[in-house]
Amino acid sequence: MDIDNVTEVINSSINSLYSSFLNSINVDSYEILDEITFIDSKILDNTYFISFLDNHSHSIIDIANALLLAFLIYYGFSYLFSHLSGNSVEKPFQFIIKFTICAICVNFSYFICKQIINVFDILTDCIREYYNFIFSSKISFSYLGNQLEEIFFSEILPEPNFFSFEGILSIFISFGIFNLIITYSYRYILIKLLILLSPFFILSYSTNSTKWLFKMWIKNLFSLLSIQLVVSIILFITTSIEYNVVDATTKILYIGALYALIKTTSFVKDFTSGFTTDITSGISSLKSSLH
């Protein structure tokens, strides 16, 4: 086998793998992105998730209610020893008022979380409905996927060629969609975790020594939920781009928009100093939140 044949076989193999990878990014991928990005109150309807919330002896709320007594005892000892040590402790009346409010909120924590989610869902729907009013189409990743399919993949799928400018741009798009799925899946899990543990974070506000946990929780919950607002705005701008002739400039603009969607989590994190759903920096963000 001469060098030309070896080169042809390698080139054919790479293009075959390239074609398979492009075909794997299909309509289902964009539908998954819509489901995990635009979060509404249905996130609380999962059967296994609800099993943690049921009102039985081992539910999360019952455990939090048991800890209420522990926090009350802790404050009682702290208040008694403050007279001996001279340390300042908040006044009993002030503590009782705050403790009572926290106790009520603990038992309605999932209702509170549901209303917070509904607020962000309504704001997101406002942006999407405004887009629908102007362009008579629903803003979504599925709609973006149709545009990407028309601009990038319709030309190269019949005869895929990795070693071309269009091929390189298309592989960037494919990896970008794959990156978005992983990134927003991580965000989805984080939101469910913060909601599940919400009774404990709300309980932590009852004492001055632990209320920083509540502040961290509420800040990061709002940070993660607000990502879908920024995503909606980026999709609004991106999908409203008019193109008559698909040229290199149009393709690069869409790649820039996809990159903006990938960096949305970092932007929101920098803006709110909350969690980022960039996996590489998630651990460092958590450590900084704890200090």
User: According to the model, what pLDDT value does residue 231 have?
Assistant: 92
Rounded to 5 degrees, what are φ and ψ at 194? -65, -35
The answer to whether residues 214 and 202 touch, using CB atoms and an 8 Å cutoff, is yes
> Rounded to an integer, what distance in angstroms lies between the CA atom of residue 213 and that of residue 65?
17
User: According to the model, what pLDDT value does residue 115 have?
Assistant: 92
E strand or H helix that includes residue 66:
helix 60-85
Question: Which residues of the chain fall below pLDDT 50?
Answer: 1, 6, 57, 156-158, 274, 276, 279-283, 285-287, 289-291
User: According to the model, what pLDDT value does residue 286 have?
Assistant: 46
Residue carrying the six token digits 């998730």: 49
User: According to the model, what pLDDT value does residue 27 have?
Assistant: 57
> Rounded to an integer, what distance in angstroms lies between the CA atom of residue 43 and that of residue 53?
13
The answer to whether residues 227 and 264 touch, using CB atoms and an 8 Å cutoff, is yes
> Rounded to an integer, what distance in angstroms lies between the CA atom of residue 21 and that of residue 42?
32
Predicted TM-score (pTM) of the model is 0.78
